[in-house]
Structure 1
Amino acid sequence: MAPCNTFIARLLALVAALSLCAQPAAAQGFSVLRDAETEALLQDMVDPLAEAAGLGEGAVDVVLLNDNSINAFVAGGQRIYVHSGLINAADSANEVQGVLAHELGHITGGHINRFSEGAGNASRITLLSTLLAVGAALAGGGEAAMGVLAAGQQAAMGSFLAFSRTQEASADAASVDYLQCAGIDGAGLISFFRKLQNYEFRRNISQDQEREYSRTHPLSGNRIARLEDELAQRERGDRPPADLTAAIEEPAVPGAEVVERMPVDCRTTPRDTADLEERFQRAKAKLYGYLAPPERALNAYPEYMTGAPARYARAYAYHEQARVDKALEEVNALIAMDPDDPYFLELKGQILLESGHVNEALPPLREATRLTGSNPLIASILGHALIATEDSDNFDEAEQVLRSAVGRDRENPFAWYQLGVVYGQRGDIPRARLASAEQQIMQGNFQGALVNAQAAENGLETGSPDWIRAQDVALQARGLLERQRDRN
């Protein structure tokens, strides 16, 4: 019976490996990076592409993950996850938009919804080969059984990989359509794929055409050649703009679930991207200054560089080194460039707050909140600063800005925590428990969320909006706990 146990173990290992690929970002333990300026930039980068894809402005979210690998992916729904390593590797906003266009191709093609189809086909092949191998083993043909099993597993993985490559090629083709329709240069898509190709060369990843079958993605060289040909045909006028309205009715991959889309009006002139590019360079430097060790950030952006990106990076690096005067010197130089830039004011307030100068942090944070129309992330920092003054006279304002923040962005655990602090200081324990439940459910502590939601429900007025919300959170936490137990 030992061979059968081995077969089953291998079958389960393969099926588990295929299932792992479909897990959402939260289940894989990624750390989400939240920054008001960067999120606004990424939204402005994806919106014209989403419109070209027939999804509409604001229909697709872009989430930035703290991961230094060069990657982006979709994991269900209309949300694109981008690794911080991709932003750092990209030389321009145009390159990132090329990647976003590719990921939109996965969304509109229904590829995540069809993942189970590819995994299911592979699993069926594996199961069939396992049953045949078991029969051979029981008949006394141990070596034959192992051969059947190995061949079946190879065929199963080959089937899944071919399915994956088809989806990638489909997303590549869709990305050209979306870029062209949005009036965005496709050169960035090509240059980014060249980066990936150079990365593969450095890692000695085989570029042998005959071994493409062993990859989840087509060879980078083949993708580049196809994309260059597509773009060249469009530029020569050999191919008219894609009929994206027809694409709405017929998904790129036969059998894919159709994503609800709208008729599309393609641009006839190139889009001006100068402002977007300037904002991208700022956000890229800001991200690098925040994530990189301070010494590396200061080496990458030495003091003779006086543009906004360099000053941004150095301000974060100096702040990390607790060199408050140097950090404020950089941020004050930024504010001198543009006194009404809310993100410069936000950074000054953040540095002052985290350096213990709480009262000095309030004016720039209030102004940044006003200039952004109470952006939830910036308002959350203002709420935190108001609480940090330990002055009860500031608690009314803190509650107001924090309630506004969570009202516009419920997926903000920091704001929920600060709101809970306000309620706790006032002795409003039921609402403090409810805020804690909201925070914990977003951070994956479903048991803690359930306990706090039930306690809040017991202390709140029956039928009140907060009482109803406590029931909703408790119900959500129970469902997530059941799913967690089922997975385990």
Structure 2
Amino acid sequence: MSSLRRRCAAAALALLVVLPTHAYESPLPDLGDTSSEGLSASDERQIGASVMRELRRSGMLLDDPELTAYVNQLGGRLVDASEDARASFTFLPLRDPSVNAFAVPGGVIAVHSGLIVMAQHESELASVLAHEIAHVTQHHIARMIESQRVTPWMTLAALGLAILAAHAGHGDMAAAAAAAGPAMAIQRQLDFTYGFEQEADRIGMQTLTRAGFDPSAMPVFFDRLQKHNRLVENNAPEFLRTHPVTYKRIADAQARLKDMPYRQVPDSQDFLFMREKARVLQGDQRTMLDFYAKTLSEGRFANRAAHLYGYALAQLRNRDFAGAQKSLDGARTAYGRAHPALEYLQGQLLLAQGRPVEAAAQLKQAAQRFPGSRALVYGEIDARLAAGQLNDALALTHDAQELYPSDAELYQREAKAYQGLGNAQRQHAAQAEYYVRLLEYTAAIEQLQIAQRQPGDDFYLLSRIEARLRELQQDDESQRRKAGKPSSLDSSQALPAQPQPPVEVGAPTNARSTSRYRSGSGGMPWR
């Protein structure tokens, strides 16, 4: 059993003591009123942070800048249309061929790649995200916990991992958890889940309509999910499913359409391209090559440009560079104009061929044409790092950090640039900011401590490193005290004292550095 599965199993068993089988039967519903005694807003954020950390550690995250940007753009459009959305949301694509999505307190919504692939239209995918957003805005988990009369802090340490046990494809653990509670408790919790599902359907459909999508996509997709679950899960009891889709839910959704005008909403090209990318990234290389070759030869595709794009991706993964270029050129011709997904793939193809200078020039031009594409910015930075253009890569990274100060990947790239330039202090300081954005505070503190030990005579840089270290240690201690955890510091270990600046002749003794300092997730300029 892997370390992740051991952690998930232990957490799941711990959670069963508190919430018998509840977390395994619902798609992680939402929390009702923020004044609920079950979970506070701070509790919700901690649960969401815990889940994001474990998802990253598990390797389940589909770490692709384009797919991540797409699901967040789509989710953001729906959040904007939701009347009850007051918290910030994060949408995470997972590499998992199962058709599923789940919501977590704190506005975290995970989307399985299988869901993206199975959606025949963008409105269908949007309908599931709208449903999950409703789970969060209605605070269903807080209401679940309140109904159990459970102290919320009893659940915080285990809830994130228990969620993973139910949703990470570990069916044996999920089944064991479901079987652990008495039958009466299972039935009572199942009834409670149905009520939340119906509420999320109703509010989600309203959000879907306000966001400009086709509301009829919800019952259509539910019906297809019902058939899919029946085939895939072999009629397993509904309480073992994360999203119990019933004929009553489908009928209810169809009934809500009676007073709504028919609306045909075309799919965006972003959806069509990203659906193929999700298909390729979740599939086996050889299987994907055969799939695209066969469907293209038989003409079985909905959008030729997107299908050729998927084929080019599959060929690139198989290092068939000539084939990938031919398919990509065909996708460009079929689409008839430029698109950031096509430009990014062209840059990745040039990089894979060992042509970083050409890739950097091509991606720079594309980024100027599509300034909203962060993937193109990543691509140009990576190309310049590969070409040895380290100062140019660093300048690009710093410019992007001004626009996206919470973007962890930019700080990872900054660390790589400083490593290439031989500046170990700034390298480890930037790596610390990367870990801060991944909510891995122990690793961030370790990186800053390493940075302290590196040679260098820049007093003000060292001052900023030590100030940041002090800030993170204080935050970490505060969180540990709140959670009732032991201190991470020995009784003899003190937080680092802030160094006093060198006093120049004629200068006031209270002189301060004039360099910029952005506290919190905004980070620090290691320049």
Pairwise TM-score range, normalised by the shorter structure: 0.7 to 0.9
Shift, 1:11, TM fit: 8.9
Q: Name the amino acid aligned to 1:309.
A: A
The question of 1:109 aligning with 2:133 is answered no
The amino acid of 2:254's aligned partner reads E
Task: Supply the distance in 2 between the matched residues of 1:71 and 1:300 (Cα, whole angstroms).
Answer: 23
Partner of residue 368 from structure 2, selected from 359, 370, 373: 370
Q: Percent identity?
A: 24
Find the structure with the greater CA-based Rg: 1
CA separation of 1:475/1:319 partners in 2, compared to 1, >3 Å: closer, same or farther? farther
Contact 2:415 2:426 in 1 (8 A): yes
The CA distance in 2 between the partners of 1:96 and 1:434, in whole Å, is 40
- Mind listing any 5+ residue stretches in structure 2 that lack a counterpart? 1-11, 29-46, 153-178, 487-527
CA displacement at 1:25 relative to structure 2: 4.2
Name the SS for the 1:461 alignment partner. helix
Contact 1:190 1:227 in 2 (8 A): yes
User: In the alignment, residue 273 of structure 1 is paired with which amino acid?
Assistant: V
What is the aligned counterpart of 1:15 among 13, 18, 22?
Answer: 18
Distance 1:307 1:465, change over 3 A: farther
CA distance in structure 2 between the partners assigned to 1:11 and 1:74 by the alignment:
21
Q: 2:416 aligns with which of 413, 421, 440?
A: 421
1:26 aligns with 2:28: no
Question: Alignment partner for residue 95 of structure 1, among 106, 124, 130?
Answer: 124
Q: 1:406 to 1:479 in 2, by over 3 A?
A: farther
CA contact (8 A) 1:413 1:439 kept: yes
Q: Deviations over 1:166-208 (max 9, x none)?
A: 211110111222233334322211121112211232246559x
Q: 1:379 corresponds to which residue?
A: 377
Distance 2:319 2:79 in 1: 42
Cα drift, residue 58 of structure 1? 11
| Contact residue 345 and residue 368 of structure 1 kept, 8 A | yes
Tell me the equivalent position of 1:314: 311
| C-alpha spacing 1:179/1:286, structure 2 compared with 1 (3 Å) | same
User: How many residues are paired up?
Assistant: 413
Q: Secondary structure at the match of 2:140?
A: coil
Between 1:469-478 and 1:431-440, the stretch displaced more is: 469-478
Match among 292, 295, 304 for residue 286 of structure 2: 295
Letter matched to residue 222 of structure 1: K
Local SS of the residue matching 1:32 = coil
- Contact kept? 1:18, 1:119, Cα under 8 Å: no
Higher relative contact order (CA 8 A, sep 6+): 2
Residue 436 (1) aligns with residue 431 (2): yes
SS in 2 for 1:113: helix
Q: Give the alignment's Cα RMSD to 1 decimal.
A: 3.9
Aligned 1:66-85 pairs, distance under 5 A: 66-85=95-114
For 1:63, the equivalent position in structure 2 comes to 92
Match of 1:322, SS state, is: coil
- Paired with 1:11 and 1:428, the residues of 2 have a C-alpha distance of 45
Of the candidates 230, 233, 238, which is equivalent to residue 201 of structure 1? Answer: 230
Determine which structure has the larger helix proportion and give its number.
Answer: 1
Change in CA separation of 1:118 and 1:84 when aligned onto 2, cut-off 3 Å: farther
Q: Using the alignment, how far apart are the partners of 1:58 and 1:444 within structure 2?
A: 18
2:341 is equivalent to residue 343 of structure 1: yes
Shift of 1:426: 2.6
Q: Deviations over 1:84-131 (max 9, x none)?
A: 1100111111111111121121122122333422454699xxxxxxxx
Q: Matched residues in 2 for 1:10 and 1:81: separation?
A: 23
Match of 1:161 in 2: 190
8 A contact 2:122–2:271 mirrored in 1: yes
Q: Deviations over 1:45-80 (max 9, x none)?
A: 334432332257995443212122111111122342
Which of 269, 273, 287 lines up with 2:265 in the alignment?
A: 273
Question: Do the aligned residues in 1 keep the contact of 2:20 with 2:180 (CA within 8 Å)?
Answer: no
Alpha carbons 1:122, 1:156 under 8 Å: kept: no
